[in-house]
């Protein structure tokens, strides 16, 4: 019996960021990184939630200080970059480490319904949380049409 990785539905991810191809490519890239820790890049995992008036993007950044994180938006592309630095004590040798260190970069093509000028970010307890408010035009209430 083999163990397969389970992925929850990607409907929210696709709606905010792109196509199924993008989702599958991101998964493949991440899985390759996780399988080979010798050559792995630091690729923070994300979570996307959709609320009525906004999207919430959570990025796992354990051990990364908020001063070491850069967030920018340019031409509808959200870029999150930074570096996780190794904490090596003076006079200590590392016998074994499975932890990943180094620079990271995640980019996301934002949906046209995101108000890029109103994005806010909070970094607390190893989680970077971005609030991506929807434009007012995207918040129009659904109108029911009566069938005659």
pTM, two decimals, is 0.66
Q: What is the pLDDT at residue 37?
A: 42
Would residue 49 count as lying in a domain?
yes
User: What CATH number has the domain bearing residue 58?
Assistant: 2.60.40.790
Positions in the chain whose pLDDT score sits under 50: 1-2, 30-40
Q: How many domains does the chain have?
A: 1
Would residue 4 count as lying in a domain?
no
Would residue 93 count as lying in a domain?
yes
Q: What is the pLDDT at residue 81?
A: 95
> What's the CA gap between 125 and 43, in Å, rounded?
18
Q: What is the pLDDT at residue 25?
A: 52
Would residue 142 count as lying in a domain?
no
Residue 93 structural domain: 11-135
Q: Which strands form 102-109's sheet, in the order they lie side by side?
A: 69-74, 77-84, 102-109
Q: What is the pLDDT at residue 100?
A: 84
Would residue 6 count as lying in a domain?
no
Would residue 146 count as lying in a domain?
no
Local structure of residue 142 (DSSP, 8 states): P
Would residue 144 count as lying in a domain?
no
Q: What is the pLDDT at residue 143?
A: 80
Q: What is the pLDDT at residue 39?
A: 44
Q: What is the pLDDT at residue 36?
A: 40
Would residue 3 count as lying in a domain?
no
DSSP result, 4-49: -------HHHHHHH--HHHHHHHHHHHHHHHH-TTT------EEEE
């Amino acid at each position: 019996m083999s163990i397969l990785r389970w992925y929850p539905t990607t409907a929210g991810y696709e709606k905010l960021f792109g196509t199924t191809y993008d989702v599958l490519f991101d998964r493949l890239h991440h899985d390759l990184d996780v399988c080979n820790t010798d050559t792995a890049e630091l690729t923070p995992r994300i979570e996307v939630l959709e609320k009525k008036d906004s999207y919430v993007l959570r990025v796992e950044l354990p051990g990364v200080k908020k001063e070491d994180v850069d967030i920018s938006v340019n031409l509808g592309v959200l870029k999150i970059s930074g570096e996780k630095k190794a904490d090596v004590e003076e006079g200590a040798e590392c016998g074994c480490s499975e932890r990943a260190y180094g620079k990271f970069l995640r980019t996301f093509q934002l949906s046209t319904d995101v108000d890029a000028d109103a994005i806010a970010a909070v970094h607390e307890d190893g989680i970077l949380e971005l609030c991506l408010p929807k434009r007012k035009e995207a918040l129009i209430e659904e109108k029911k049409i009566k069938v005659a």
